[in-house]
Amino acid sequence: MMTDKLTLTRAVEVAFQLDVKFAARQGTAARRPCGNCGSSSHQSRAPNCPAKGQRCQRCGRQNHFARVCRSVPAADSPPPRPPGPHAPTTIHSVGAISRRLKCCTVELDGVCLPLLLDTGASKSLLNVSTVRRLFPLRTITADAEDLYGDGHSKIGMAGTITLAVRYGTKALPAFTFQVSHQGANLMGFDLFCELGFTLVDNSGAAILSVGSPWHQRWPALFSGLGCLTAFDHQPLLKPEVHPVIQPIRRLPLTLRDDVTAELQKLLDAGIIERIDASL
């Protein structure tokens, strides 16, 4: 009787150990990626597998995706379909175009220095390290303008410096550079124009100004200020508003010469005409 109880107890222990091992195997299998779609949320050949009924773009067979395909691509299988026109595209990194930036070497106070050509910059800049290294005897004045870069980000400025500039036969006795704490040495649009540079297209024509067919067809209409001779200007006045007589306002003595010169300039250009009394 005792032997039968021991045998039964041993059988129960063996059965329990087998159940534990089976459950462990089932848990390990559930954690393995699905062989049809690659997901770890379900077992292989599960009814809810997204690869069910789908055709592999690598081997042409059904019920699995190409990323988990273990077959050699069939020779007669159709090529993978390119993504549609509205398929999303992920850009992991954006790199700069591998083109050399344009530099122009000019002579600053007898020192040749290459400047990065940037016609989009309204001011020409030198960094502090360049100024202290090449022009140690020059003083950086603390009257720099507030300059802003891309995204309206403020550029740290140290001041300004005035240097003599020479390029070929063109010489500027004094040109003021803005001095920044860091960054490249730039030839801005101000120095670009002071040296007489122009932008040209592939045919050699200047592209600083854009022409139009009207300029070529009627050039007289686009020269000077212009004058309409067959038109009388009639200002719109409200009849219910009565004019008010005001005394003559005397000009300060310090402004009379400048005002007289400006009036004479407008009179000579035909913009205004002399009258003896107000109408």
The first and second tokens of residue 251, run together, are 């000009």
Cα 141 to Cα 200: distance, rounded to the nearest angstrom = 36
- Per-position pLDDT tens, the chain of length 279: 444 544 555 654 655 565 545 555 555 444 577 877 877 777 777 777 877 888 887 777 888 778 788 775 544 455 555 555 555 655 444 455 545 678 889 999 989 999 998 888 889 999 999 999 999 988 899 887 888 887 788 888 999 999 999 998 899 999 999 999 988 899 999 999 899 888 877 777 777 665 667 777 777 777 777 777 778 888 888 989 988 888 888 889 999 999 999 999 999 888 888 887 655
pLDDT at res. 1? 47
Joined together, the tokens standing for residue 164 give 């003599």
Nearest partner of 165 among 190, 200, 141, 129, judged by Cα: 190
User: Dihedral of the CA atoms 169, 170, 176, 177 (nearest 10)?
Assistant: -70
The whole-model pTM stands at 0.42
pLDDT for the residue numbered 210? 59
For residue 188, give the DSSP letter: -
Q: Report, at the CATH architecture level, how domain 103-194 is classified.
A: Beta Barrel (2.40)
C-alpha to C-alpha distance for 224 and 227, rounded to whole angstroms: 9
Return the number of other C-beta atoms located less than 10 Å from residue 256's C-beta. Answer: 11
Taking alpha carbons only, the member of 26, 68, 65 closest to residue 43 is 26
Domain extent listing, the chain = 9-68, 103-194
User: What pLDDT, on a 0 to 100 scale, did the predictor assign at position 6?
Assistant: 46
